[in-house]
Amino acid sequence: MQPRRSMYKRDKDKEKVRTDVVRVPGVAVAVWLAIAIVSVLLTFGLQALRVTSWIIGSVLVGLNLVGLYILFALKVADQWEKAVVLRLGRFVGLRGPGLFWVIPIVDRVPSWIDHRVMVTPFSAEKTLTKDTVPVDVDAVLFWMVWDAEKAALEVEDYQVAIAWAAQTALREVIGQMDLADILVGRARMDQELQKIIDERTTPWGITVQSVEIRDIVIPQELEDTMSRQAQAERERQARVILGESELQIAQSFADASMAYQDNPTALHLRAMNMLFEGLKEKGAMVIVPSSAVDTMNLGGLAGVTSLAASGLAEAPSSLESE
């Protein structure tokens, strides 16, 4: 976590340095070079025409002054940018996108406000939840500047300010929720964070479009405990489901027994069907409880089965004697 925060800080420092650098557009440089070349050629032409030196000097100085004015006065803002113009330290307006002019030395462009959607990662490390569990949470903030004047004048560095506001809001939300609510309620956390951060950044001319929780890291010991707890819960549910299945099966047998209670013929036919299913397989052996023999009148059926089996055994012997 620490290397990522350091890299984030370096990126912010680079961004701050970039805003303080004077931007000279390529078109201004091109015009200045063109005027410089024209002034040199014009100087040689005037010397060939034997024009006095003070006139040549005046023309040369005038052209150079025009070139320098264009070099420092002509600015270009990209389509997604607004330039903040200060005149002798006072705000005079926003310029751009496209070409615009400033007064050299008098006017200054201290910052260029980007109106595109910006992405800011932020995190909260070892933050205690409502039930005193330390967690590490990583999130991403999507925001944009809707009022460049407020973003430039109301806060020193709006990018750093919104990063700190997001991190503070994340710690505040984590402290108000239990660990279970954090793990299963990311959508609610996103909405709550967006609401809190947007309330803080609206006076700066910044609106928050969305907040997304990327990762939630809990201590390894607690993770193992929760894993065992989940496994025990699943085993308990499996046993409950098995018991409910046994109850349904017993109820089905009870309902079936009611159908045979007052109908011995149906019970007898069912017994014959059971024996048939058991004997149709070659070499099968059917074991019938003694209580079932008396209850379903299987004694006669067993005798018939034995006679049939003995008859089949004597038939080959009689054929051999003949």
Residues 278-318: tens digit of each pLDDT:
666 655 566 666 655 565 555 554 444 544 454 444 444 44
Q: Do 198 and 178 touch, CB atoms closer than 8 A? A: no
On the question of a cis peptide bond just before residue 289, with omega within 30 degrees of 0, the verdict is no
d(CA 94, CA 67): 25
Mean pLDDT across 118-146: 89
Q: Which fold has domain 121-217?
A: Tetrahydropterin Synthase; Chain A (3.30.479)
56 pLDDT tier (thresholds 50, 70, 90): confident
Mean pLDDT across 203-231: 80
4 pLDDT tier (thresholds 50, 70, 90): very low
What pTM was computed for the model? 0.61
Residue 83 has a pLDDT of 92
Calculate Rg over the CA atoms of the chain: 46
- SS3 for the chain, per residue? CHHHHHHHHHHHHHHHHHHHCCCCCHHHHHHHHHHHHHHHHHHHHHHHCCCCHHHHHHHHHHHHHHHHHHHHHEEEECCCEEEEEEECCEEEEEECCEEEECCCCCEEEEEEEECCCEEEEEEEEEEECCCCCEEEEEEEEEEEECCHHHHHHCCCCHHHHHHHHHHHHHHHHHHCCCHHHHHHCHHHHHHHHHHHHHHHHHHHCEEEEEEEEEEEECCHHHHHHHHHHHHHHHHHHHHHHHHHHHHHHHHHHHHHHHHHHCCHHHHHHHHHHHHHHHHCCCCCCCCCCHHHHHHCCCHHHHHHHHHHHHHHHHHHHHHHHC
Residues 15-48: tens digit of each pLDDT:
443 444 578 888 888 988 998 888 888 888 878 8
Residue 120 has a pLDDT of 92
Residues 218-272: tens digit of each pLDDT:
877 766 666 677 777 778 888 888 888 888 888 887 777 777 777 777 766 777 7
Residues 67-97: tens digit of each pLDDT:
899 989 999 999 999 999 999 989 999 998 9
Neighbours of 310 (CB within 10 A): 10
Residues 161-200: tens digit of each pLDDT:
999 999 999 999 988 888 888 888 888 888 889 999 999 9
Task: Quote the Cα angle for 76-81-87, to 5°.
Answer: 65
